[in-house]
A = this chain, B = another copy of it.
């Protein structure tokens, strides 16, 4: 594995706010051909492109949108495998339709990661034979992933990024200014956070740690950035030992900030390699799920012991402190007001809107809030049968007009000065059918059951998933995405380690006070409609009895359910009471801050069932 090139490449001068990819002049098939030439030079039978960045981020800045560059597919997940004869892309069920559409006319063929006719990437790679040489960029493959391949008997060789020689107009690493948040706004000082990490480090027997995860770095240092769309992050590594902390990122980012009294040093991004190669007689703590193979190659493992585990800051960050919770509450109240203003305007005259213009209207109302910073992810606005495509993305060609009787799934969220929001509404237009109302009510029953649940300390998310599913199951319905994902505070809208899902995640984390999580059951009927009801909730203490400590959820999202879609007869008295109590709270909370002309809508929408 040659890393000299990697160093040269990442040392290249960076450009600020490079959010747009310059248009390439070569076609997809030409790119594949060039890649194959390089593969032949290196005697490779296959080359894998993960489409992530050196920090294993979910969303990546243009420089590392390699999947999109090579295939044209713009989805947020997927794995590309190029062999000398085939060009394949594995997509998940959210993207089957979109991916097929976007690779049309190229050599690419789509494979399914899940669902019917799914094919395992590992099975395909194995079919190449045990002596096959398979390459991938060392910068963007994690230690964990390489070990998984190894365990499956697949020989994947981390190496230089072959796209480097093909993608001539590749965007640089962004290097925009960072924003320093006050300790007061964050609820904890940087020194205190670093000190907590040092304690955990010592407990685990490590003398230092290198953190690759961008949202962990932003959280620890009370900094935010603008490198990645939707994510207030900046590209960096953070090294911590018992003597010092070093942030590896473009120094220019701090040009407007006093750096004299910061409890960490700042060195350039690529200096991280020097730091790692200089480590002697120490033990370094690394997250195998976030650490890329290039980093690993610079550690002299004869002299340095590696201890693997989740980043200590992951759980610290997940358990929001009281200031962060206050911020999240306030962010949701402001967001609720924006949404009610939006709904009032939309419902007053719904004719003529399209999926995209509805999303734009919501965005316009969010932007009226002085605290609003921007969207926390790309809004999903999906009408009628589009709603059945779980992660449908409307574009100019698909943009459906809101007309007739139908349901609109509207999944959106924002960052404000105080926190991050994520809400899915299912909005009825025209006269909803009995089937739509029954489906909505079944989804709502699961959503209500989860949000009203009390559970003992130590309960894991996988234990609670069925609580949200069971009313649907009882009626032969189901949904195949998770019920809840963690949400950051003015950070990533998808944040670990907690989640509510039937799938046992590797981290297997108990739900703890301060954790924010989404509650979003749904049901999707192909060719008909999609329904999803999503509020954010957070864990707090309920009470203590002789049986131990019990926890409950408080709801953050402040927005009415759609009474037009609720079949009251399908609800228990307790469920009716729960909805009425929630609506009373929504009304009281928003009545003085919504626009005057939205008050009528708010009042009606929150009247008792």
| Chain A residues packing against B (C-beta within 8 Å) | 453-456, 459-460, 462-467, 469-470, 473-474, 476-478, 502, 504, 508, 525-526, 542-543, 545-548, 550, 572
Contact = CB atoms under 8 A, between A and B. Distances in A.
Contact of A502 (B460, B474, B572): B460
8 contacts: A455-B469, A456-B478, A462-B504, A463-B463, A476-B542, A476-B545, A478-B547, A526-B546
A547 B526 CA distance: 10
Nearest to A542: B476
A476 B550 contact: yes
The 3 A-B pairs of least Cβ separation, nearest first, read A476-B545, A478-B547, A463-B466
A517 to B, nearest CB: 15
B460 A473 contact: no
Contact of A467 (B459, B470, B525): B470
Q: Chain B CB within 10 Å — which of A459, A460, A546, A547 has the most?
A: A547
Interface centre among A465, A473, A504 (most CB of B within 10 A): A473
A545 B473 CA distance: 10
Contacts of A547: 476-478
A454 B474 contact: yes
Contacts of A504: 462, 504, 508
A383 to B, nearest CB: 21
A577 B208 CA distance: 62
A502 B470 contact: no
A30 to B, nearest CB: 41
A546 B525 contact: yes
A480 B466 CA distance: 19
B526 A473 contact: no
A455 B476 contact: no
B543 A463 contact: no
A543 B470 contact: no
Contacts of A462: 462-463, 504
A502 B459 contact: yes
B502 A473 contact: no
Contacts of A465: 463
A547 B478 CA distance: 6
A445 to B, nearest CB: 12
A572 B502 CA distance: 27
A463 B462 CA distance: 6
A477 B542 CA distance: 12
Nearest to A544: B476
A420 B157 CA distance: 55
Contact of A548 (B456, B459, B478, B508): B478
B502 A463 contact: yes
Contacts of A474: 453-454
A478 B542 CA distance: 14
A603 to B, nearest CB: 32
Contacts of A466: 455, 459, 463-464, 466-467
